[in-house]
Amino acid sequence: MKADSNALRIVQGGLLVLGLLLLAVFAVAHIHRFIMFRAEMVKFEARHVEDRKEGAAEIEAMHHAIPPWGNQRAKSYHANMGKPVELLAVLRIPTLHLEVPVLDGTDKVTLNRGVGRIVGTSLPGQSGNIGIAGHRDGFFRKLKDIRTGDAIELVTTSGRDVFVVDQIRITNPSDVSVLRPRAKRSLTLVTCYPFYFVGPAPSRYIVEASLKGQAEQDEEQQGRSLLLEGEKQ
């Protein structure tokens, strides 16, 4: 009986230690993500100010921005992290109180620091369809509350584009048609779904948005074309 009691205490102690270790890993991961998020935001703001002074051609200025904890620590961290990431823009969704740096690529390091442009889609500020991915348990968890008609801002060093959500849908992971160019300048946000699914999520949550004011521009252009055709006749 005493042996059973001792074995039970050992098992309970082991489970307690395991629980504390898992809690510590969870806390470290979240602290790391917050630190890197703030670092990328600081770099973007520094780069934005510098480019407004010297022009967009001075894009390399972002690499000299001073992170909140000082240059030496930042250099050391980046050396240990491996390949650097490229900061492209900042994505803001005012209705969700979301502000996050947009980096280039979708590898683990990138998506831990922000959200990432999907390779093969347009770059922020360019025409076409800009595809941006993020983790459902990270920065893009707030997408569960987005609605059609919400504004999405994409801020680069050369300006700010505002997109309006026109469709939200759920697809399977193999459906790459959502990233194809559309008739209008567009933005597509991608994350896994369901948001609180345990394990690898089986579906993808897709938010499609079109450049604000483009519909009016298209109508105006169509009206001008009809007018010219009428004058020719």
Query: Which tokens go with 216?
Result: 């009016």
Q: Cα separations (Å) of 5 from 8, 16, 198?
A: 5, 16, 34
Active site residue 192: yes
DSSP string, 131-187: EEE--TTTGGGGGGG--TT-EEEEEETTEEEEEEEEEEEEE-TT--GGGS--SS-EE
Cα 153 versus chain centre, distance: 12
Active site residues: 135, 192
